[in-house]
Amino acid sequence: MSFTLDSLRTPFASASLSETDPLNKDAGIVSPSTNDPDWWRSAVVYQIYIRSFADGDGDGTGDIAGVRSRLGYLRDLGVDAIWFTPWYASPLADGGYDVADYRAIHPSFGELAEAEALIREALELGIRTIIDVVPNHVSDQHPWFQAALAAGPGSPERERFWFRDGRGPDGDGIPTHWVSDFQGETWTRTTNPDGTPGQWYLHLFTPEQPDLNWNHPDVRREFEDVLRFWFDRGVAGVRIDSAALLVKDENLPEVPKNPQPGQHPTVDRDELHDIYRGWRTVADSYPGARSLVGEIWLPDIERFAKYLRPDELHMAFNFDFMARPWDAANLRASIDATLAAHAPVGAPSTWVLSNHDVTRPVTRYGREDSSFAFAAKRFGTPTDLELGTKRARAAALLTAALPGSLYIYQGDELGLPEAEDIPAGLIQDPMHFRSQGVDPGRDGCRVPLPWRGTAAGFGFGPEGAAQPWLPQPESWARLTVEEQESDQGSMLWLYREALRIRRRIPAMTEGDFAWVDAGDGVLSFSRGTGFLCVINLSSAPIELPEHDSILLSSTQLVSGRLPPDSCVWLRTQH
Ligand code: NOJ
């Protein structure tokens, strides 16, 4: 359980491509592809959790000004697009996934004009902007919900949500026993203006996030308008929150024991596809491919792929791969299933190691059980961060070499571990509170980034700024951007090299994928001609296959052999 980064800080093999190398596509530093209609198929998308990226005004909370001041960092990292978690007006009952007004920016994050400027400035550097839309629910402070509460039972205002009388003569019986994704009940009873108990309303998440009724034409119209509002401002894509949950069975049945596909009352209902066909029509009516990416957690990968038919979403997050343990057979099975399911619909796979909801890879891969499941999160799980870091480095190269688009969550490029010592009084995540404190919640992966220096705050804000809204572990002094920029053995350096090479070798984004035979516990695959990726998940070092040169390695080779938990990119003849 020790964490000394020193063993990982040794410079490792990396060969620059020579100017005459036939694999070299000199793409320059910035993406030249802002007119490419297929940009999203192999894009590298960097997820910005805006509260925690960089604080421009010094109030301890990240903001648009902070992002604008760091666009050069994102360009140097080599990303094609940035995805912002919700930045709209919101009471932040669920970190912004409780939107009160889609056409206004939260005052802590800035103003609409700043968002517009950011979108423009990023594009000048070749970086597209993707926004987050949360169609399953709104904030309880949204004018529609406030109007519904005020208008009372039977009113048209209530039709936009799921208001129901309770069961039994007093109406105090909950309408269904559906369980929230955040644990606990999914219905909250209202109070009438005269103080008597009123109707109940549905919320699959917190009571501050009432579910919208997607059978209502106002709801459909409003969200298509929201898409237009942001497409008009130049955004290149939309990430769709809880994309498989919008439609509910109007009869409100209980959840059957083993629901058949499409029979669950709140998940993956067939009517959803029509909604997304409408969204695709809106996206396609704009010049320069505007893409839609769905947050879809579904165990049935064929049902999952249906959302990616050519007239629906462009992409969806590949959580199956993300949740798999560090194990060769397991990862290979996920890669195979992913590629097989995407091929018939012609959609690219996405590769995701983490996001703002899940345990950081450096921590997860350092645990005995390195798979991810929300239900399994607990305080005090033993973790070997040195091992986790080594594996996270290898996983970064593995995912960057697979066909499709790549999503990087802010801070993973710095190898940040999950912050597990946030004082109880500072925890904010409703997942923690709704589990009665059993689930540590998601704040541990949302801690503000360390940029520079050795004192608390680590340059998150300007000189003299308030302390960050969540405290950063002291050990992060060794993980600041400043520290890592000058260290060829750092995670940041590895990510920059990987993305630079990926951009310069067309085979890595365009070449056919093929497995190559390798020993037990080893995965090896080629992309097109001349590129081979080898990842050693066994417990012993392995000999490298025949190759011309080493492009990049996640760990220093030992006597020419690839150590366990390491990945190497090779330039080969065939
Ligand atoms: C998924 C988002 O990623 C998560 O952060 C949020 O809490 C839920 N959807 C509810 O909107």
On whether the CB atoms of residues 570 and 544 are closer than 8 A, the answer is yes
Q: How far apart are CA 322 and CA 177, in angstroms?
A: 30
Decide if 292 contacts 237 (C-beta within 8 A): yes
Token digits of residue 434: 């709704």
Cβ partners under 8 Å of residue 234, min gap 6: 116, 119, 120, 123, 129
Residue 436 buriedness (CB in 10 A; 0-12 / 13-18 / 19+): exposed
Q: Does the pLDDT of residue 26 top 90, yes or no?
A: no
Measured from the CA of 136, which atom of ligand 1 is nearest?
A: 11
488 vs 497: CA distance, rounded Å: 10
DSSP alpha helices (H): ranges in 307-441? 319-323, 328-342, 361-364, 385-401, 430-434
Q: What is the mean pLDDT of the chain?
A: 94
Structure confidence at residue 208 as a pLDDT band (50, 70, 90): very high
Q: Residues 533, 524: contact at Cβ < 8 Å?
A: yes
DSSP letters along 105-154, please? E-TTT--HHHHHHHHHHHHHTT-EEEEEE-TTB--TTSHHHHHHHHH-TT
Residue having the nearest C-alpha atom to atom 11 of ligand 1: 97
Does 357 contact ligand 1 (Cβ within 6 A)? yes
Closest residue to atom 6 of ligand 1, CA basis:
97
Q: How much helix, strand and coil, in percent to the nearest 5, is found in the chain? A: 30, 15, 55
- Ligand 1 nearest-atom number relative to CA 431: 7
98 lines ligand 1 (CB under 6 A): no
The DSSP secondary-structure symbol of 251 reads: T
Residue 57 has pLDDT above 90, yes or no: yes
Pairing of strands 237-240, 128-133: parallel
Separation of CA 58 and ligand 1 centre (Å)? 27
Across the range 372-395, mean pLDDT stands at 97
Confidence of residue 574 (pLDDT cuts 50, 70, 90): confident
What is the pLDDT, as a whole number, of residue 194?
A: 87
356 CA to centre of ligand 1 in angstroms:
9
Mean pLDDT for the stretch of residues 449-458: 96
Q: Is the pLDDT of residue 6 over 90?
A: no
Angle made by CA atoms 443, 537, 532, in degrees to the nearest 5: 105
Can you name the CATH fold of 143-202? Oligo-1,6-glucosidase; domain 2 (3.90.400)
Q: With 80 as the cut, is the pLDDT of residue 456 above it?
A: yes
The pLDDT, as a whole number, for residue 111 is 98
Q: Answer yes or no: is the C-beta of 205 below 6 A from any ligand 1 atom.
A: yes
Rounded to 5 degrees, φ, ψ at 394 are -65, -40
Ligand 1 in reach of 317 Cβ (< 6 A) = no
Residue 412 beta carbon below 6 angstroms from any ligand 1 atom? no
Residues in the chain: 574
Residue nearest to atom 3 of ligand 1 (CA): 357
Banded pLDDT at 15 (limits 50, 70, 90):
very low
Q: What is the mean pLDDT of residues 59-70?
A: 98
Nearest CA to 161 out of 179, 184, 143, 177 is that of 143
Q: Model-level pTM?
A: 0.95
- Domain 39-138+217-498: homologous superfamily in CATH: Glycosidases (3.20.20.80)
Helix/strand/coil for 562: strand
How many distinct helices (H) and strands (E) make up the chain?
A: 15, 20
**Is there an atom of ligand 1 within 6 Å of 83 CB?**
no
pLDDT at 34: 60
* CA-205 nearest atom, ligand 1: 10
Q: DSSP string covering 259-320, please? A: PPTT-SSSSS-TTHHHHHHHHHHHHHTSSS--EEEE----S-HHHHHHTTSTTS-SEE--HH
- Domain layout of the chain by residue ranges: 39-138+217-498, 143-202
Tokens matching residue 415: 């190898």
Tell me which residue of 216, 208, 214 sits closest to 142, measured CA to CA. 208
Ligand 1 center from residue 373 Cα (angstroms): 15
List pLDDT tens digits, range 99-131: 999 999 999 999 999 999 999 999 999 999 999
**Residues whose CB falls within 8 Å of the CB of residue 34, separated by 6 or more in sequence, listed in order:** 123, 126, 128, 288
Indicate whether residue 565 lines ligand 1 (CB < 6 A). Answer: no
Share of the chain above pLDDT 90, in %: 93
411-450 pLDDT, tens digit each: 999 999 999 999 999 999 999 999 999 999 999 999 999 9
pLDDT at 406 over 50: yes
Q: What is the position in ligand 1's atom list of the atom closest to the CA of 242? A: 9
Question: Mean pLDDT across the stretch 365-376?
Answer: 97
CA distance readout (Å), 572 to 401, 521, 525: 15, 22, 12
Say how many Å lie between the CA of residue 241 and the centre of ligand 1: 6
For ligand 1, atom 5: residue with the closest CA = 357
* AA identity, residue 43: A
Best of 134, 297, 410, 435 to mutate for ligand 1, by most ligand atoms within 8 A of CB? 134
Percent over 70 (pLDDT), the chain: 94
132 to 181, 487, 528: CA distances (angstroms): 19, 34, 34
Which is nearest to 142 in space by CA: 115, 108, 107, 103? 103
Alpha-carbon distances of 538 from 200, 274, 525, rounded to whole Å = 54, 46, 16
pLDDT reported for residue 16:
43
Does any ligand 1 atom lie closer than 6 A to the CB of residue 94? yes
Lowest mean pLDDT among 2-16, 33-47, 172-186, 233-247: 2-16
Q: How far is the CA of 204 from the centre of ligand 1 (A)?
A: 11
Distance 569 CA to ligand 1 centre (A): 35
Cα 137 to ligand 1 centre (Å): 10
Helix H or strand E encompassing 561: strand 561-562
User: What is d(CA 398, CA 534) in angstroms, rounded to the nearest whole number?
Assistant: 8
Kindly state if the Cβ of 320 falls inside 6 Å of ligand 1. no
CB atoms within 10 A of CB 16: 12
Task: Mention every residue, 6+ apart, whose C-beta is less than 8 A from residue 16.
Answer: none
CB atoms within 10 A of CB 484: 24
Report whether residue 97 contacts ligand 1, using a CB cutoff of 6 Å: yes
Distance of alpha carbon 52 from alpha carbon 495, whole angstroms: 20
Nearest ligand 1 atom to the CA of 357 is: 5
The alpha-helical segments, DSSP class H, found in 369-451 are: 385-401, 430-434
Question: How confident is residue 489, by pLDDT bands cut at 50, 70 and 90?
Answer: very high
**Is 509's C-beta closer than 6 angstroms to any atom of ligand 1?**
no
User: Ligand 1 centroid vs 242 CA: distance in angstroms?
Assistant: 7
What is the separation of C-alpha 393 from the centre of its chain, rounded to a whole number of angstroms?
18
Which residue lies with its CA nearest to atom 2 of ligand 1?
A: 241
Asked whether residue 251 carries a pLDDT value surpassing 60, the answer given is: yes
481 vs 495: CA distance, rounded Å: 12
Q: Is the CB of 139 under 6 A from ligand 1?
A: no
What ligand 1 atom has the least distance to the C-alpha of 442?
5
pLDDT attached to residue 35: 76
Angstrom distance (rounded) from CA 216 to CA 220: 7
Structure token pair of residue 467: 């302390």
Does the Cβ of 163 fall within 6 Å of ligand 1? no
Model confidence pLDDT, tens digit, residues 136-180: 999 999 999 999 999 999 999 999 999 999 999 999 999 999 999
Contact 64 CB / ligand 1 (< 6 Å): no
Ligand 1 centroid, distance to 188 Cα (angstroms): 19
Contact present, 66 and 103 (Cβ < 8 Å): no
